[in-house]
Amino acid sequence: MIYTSAYSSPLGSILLAADEIGLTGLWFEGQKYFANTLPEGRISKETEILTVAKDWLDIYFSGKEPTFTPPLHSAGSEFRQAVWRILLEIPYGQTITYGEIARRMAEIKKVTHMSAQAVGGAIGHNVVSIIIPCHRVVGTNGSLTGYAGGIDKKISLLKLEHANISHLFVPQRELHLRQGTGTLCKRYYLDEPD
């Protein structure tokens, strides 16, 4: 049986889901793939696992690093599960690139190369946002892309963790100028005024 409960965060409403083993979902209201893994027969009820997850969120949103991880039971392919395990290893307040995760996955799979796009797909389908910290993954060039909850929430979560985001940017638009090898890219850096 799947049980659900709502959590009111400073960044908006969150839906939590759990079974008897662990947390099966954590989504910001309205995010991409919102509650897409929930069965129709779910029950809205507070459980011990959901309470532990809410305690974790209370600590996290107070600006502190939680010292525990709620029990997790997220469903996904073997590949997605392996990527999500790597996400769980990213230290609080730090970032890692899609390329670095692809390199680690290549080592795990004992292959010479792993697609950063395949890794990005697995990260994008993370069903336990925040606790499995997909918001800590950035582009190799420092771009902030690919957060199902929205780039604004990704930035807010990184700021909450006091991550160094001065080198990161949100790509606003790219203008490709085919003059020689040059490409002009307008970047909105996070420390620039609007």
Ordered mean pLDDT values, 10 residues apiece, the chain (194 residues): 96 96 93 79 93 98 97 94 96 95 94 90 92 94 84 94 91 42 43 40
Which residue type, as a one-letter code, is found at position 82?
A
Per the CB < 8 A criterion, the answer to whether 159 and 134 are in contact is no
pLDDT at residue 150, rounded to an integer: 85
Here the tokens at position 57 are 């969120």
How many Å apart are CA 134 and CA 88, to the nearest integer?
9
Neighbours of 87 (CB within 10 A): 20
pLDDT at residue 177, rounded to an integer: 31
How many Å apart are CA 17 and CA 38, to the nearest integer?
8
pTM: 0.85
pLDDT at residue 193, rounded to an integer: 37
Residues annotated as part of the active site: 134
If DSSP states are collapsed to H, E and C, what string results for the chain? CCEEEEEEECCEEEEEEECCCCEEEEEECCCCCCCCCCCCCCEECCCHHHHHHHHHHHHHHCCCCCCCCCCECCCCCHHHHHHHHHHHCCCCCCCEEHHHHHHHHHHHHCCCCCCHHHHHHHHHCCCECCCCCHHHEECCCCECCCCCCCHHHHHHHHHHCCCCCCCCEEEEEEEEEEECCEEEEEEEECCCCC
Neighbours of 112 (CB within 10 A): 6
Helical pair 78-88 and 116-124, crossing angle rounded to 10 deg: 80
pLDDT at residue 172, rounded to an integer: 67
